[in-house]
Amino acid sequence: MLHILWLIIKFILILLGIIAGLIFLVLLLLLFCPVRYRARAEKERAVGIKEIEAFGEVSWLFHGIAVKAFFRNGTPEFEFYILGISFSRIKKLFHRKKKKPHSFTTGESEKKRSRSGNKKQKNKKEESQKPSVRIINETDKPKGISRDSQKDTEPEKNITFDISKSEDDNRTEVQEPYVQKTVQTEKMDENISDSDLENQKENRFISLIFEIAGRIKKAVSGFGTVIRKALGIPSRIFEKIQNIRLTIKKFCGKINWYKEFIDHPRTREAISFVWKDAKKLLHHILPTRLTGKITFGSEDPAITGTVLAVMGMTIPFHKNAIAVNPLFDGENVLEGEVMLKGRIYGVILLKMAAELYFNKNIKYVIHRWRHKEVNHGERE
C-alpha cells in the first residue's frame, strides 16, 4: 500500500516538475528571445503613389511565429504564419479532410435518390392504370324544398287594452289640489323676491369693497418688492465681485502649486530619470539596420529645397544611411527603396519597468500628485 502511494506521489511530483520547467522555459523565451521586425518599401518612377509595393514582418521564436503584411496595387493584406506555414493553408487542409467523407456520402445519397425516384414513377404508372371512382356526397344532390319552409306564417295578433277611461278619472282627481298649491307658491315667491333683492344689493356692495382693498394691497406689495430689488442690486454686485475674486485666488493658488510641484528637486530628478529611460528605450526599439536610396523632385524648385531641408533633419536618426538625390529639373519625380530591421528584447523592457517602479523619486511624485501635498507633507 505504501509503495503504491509513493508511486502516485512520485508521478504527481514529476508532473509538477515538468509543468514548472515548461513555465520557466516560456519565461526565458519571453525575456531573452527577441521580437524581430523588418520592412521594405519600393517605388518606381513610372508608377503612381497608390502602386507602391511594401512589405512588413514581425516574428518571434526564431521566425516560428510571424505576422506578415503586404501592400500591393493599393490593397493591404495580412497573413499569420506558424513554423513557416500560413494559417490560410492550414485552414484549406482541414477543409479538404472534411470534404472527402462528405463527397462519399453524397454519392450514396444520389444513388438512393435515383432509386426512390424510380419507385415513385412506377407507383404513379400503376395509379394511372387503375379505374377512377367518383364519390358523390350528399351535398352534391339537388336541394329540395323543406316542408317546414312551406308552412305559412300566421299573422300575429295585436292585443290592445282600453285604458282611456281610467286615465280620465285620474286626471280629474289630481287637477283640483294642484291648482290650490300653485296659487299659494306664487304668493310666497312675491314675498321672498323683495327680501332677496335687498340681500343681493348688500352682498354686491361688500364684494366691491373687498375687491378694491385687495387691489390696493397687491399694488402696495408690488411696489415694496420693486424697492427691495432696487436696494438689493448693490449687494448682489458686491457678492459677484467677491465670487470672482475668490475664483481668481483659487486659480492663482493652483498655478503656484503646480509651479512649486515642478520646481521641487525630487520632481526634477524623477523627470530626468524618466527622460533617460525613454531615450534608452527609443534607442533599443529603433531599427538597428537602415539602408535606402531616394530620388525626388518637384516642378517648383523651392518645394524640392524645403523637402531636402526636412530630410536633412532626420540624419541623426538614420546616421546618413539613406542616400538622398534631389532633382531640380522641374519635374515631379519620386522613386527609391528603403529597408530596415530591428529587434526588441523582453528583458530590457522588464528592467526599465522595474527601475521606474522602484525609484523613490517617482513614488514621491505619484504620492504628492494623488494627495495634492504642498510644502513637504502639508496638505491643502
Q: Which of 16-20, 57-61, 70-74, 158-162 is least confident?
A: 158-162
Q: Is 93 exposed, middle or buried (0-12, 13-18, 19+ CB in 10 A)?
A: exposed
Q: Which helix (H) or strand (E) holds 269?
A: helix 265-285
Strands 289-297 and 322-327 come out as parallel
Strands 373-374 and 322-327 come out as unpaired
Distance CA 2, CA 21 (A): 28
- Give the residues across from 289 on adjacent strands: 341
pTM of this prediction? Answer: 0.58
Q: Which of 11-25, 151-165, 214-228, 255-269 is least confident?
A: 151-165
- Cα angle at 113 between 127 and 100, to 5 degrees? 180
Distance CA 261, CA 330 (A): 55
SS (H, E, C) 31-80: HHCCEEEEEEEEECCCCCHHHCEEEEEEEECCCCEEEEEEEECCEEEEEE
User: Is the per-residue pLDDT at 72 higher than 50?
Assistant: yes
pLDDT at position 362 is: 93
Q: Which of 112-121, 214-223, 229-238 is least confident?
A: 112-121
Q: Which of 156-160, 194-198, 338-342 is least confident?
A: 156-160
Q: What is the mean pLDDT of residues 14-43?
A: 94
Three cell numbers, residue 310: 526636412
Neighbours of 273 (CB within 10 A): 15
SS3 217: helix
Higher pLDDT, 59 or 49: 59
Three cell numbers, residue 347: 528583458
User: Is the per-residue pLDDT at 147 higher than 50?
Assistant: no
* 295 closest CA partner among 256, 337, 253: 337
User: Is the per-residue pLDDT at 16 higher than 90?
Assistant: yes
Q: Which helix (H) or strand (E) holds 97?
A: helix 87-129
pLDDT at position 99 is: 62
Three cell numbers, residue 67: 505576422
User: Is the per-residue pLDDT at 154 higher than 80?
Assistant: no
Per-residue pLDDT band for 285 (boundaries 50, 70, 90) equals very high
User: Is the per-residue pLDDT at 238 higher than 60?
Assistant: yes
* 81 closest CA partner among 108, 52, 61: 61
Q: Is 351 exposed, middle or buried (0-12, 13-18, 19+ CB in 10 A)?
A: middle
Q: Taking the CA atoms of the chain, what radius of gyration do you get in angstroms?
A: 54
pLDDT at position 18 is: 96
Contacts of 67 (CB under 8 A, 6+ apart): 57, 58, 59, 78, 79, 80, 81
What is Dmax (Cα atoms) for the chain? Answer: 137
User: Is the per-residue pLDDT at 164 higher than 90?
Assistant: no
Distance CA 303, CA 75 (A): 30
Three cell numbers, residue 253: 493658488
pLDDT at position 321 is: 87
Distance CA 85, CA 63 (A): 11
Stated length of the chain:
380
Share of the chain above pLDDT 90, in %: 32
pLDDT at position 47 is: 73
| Average of per-residue pLDDT values in the chain | 77
Three cell numbers, residue 331: 519635374
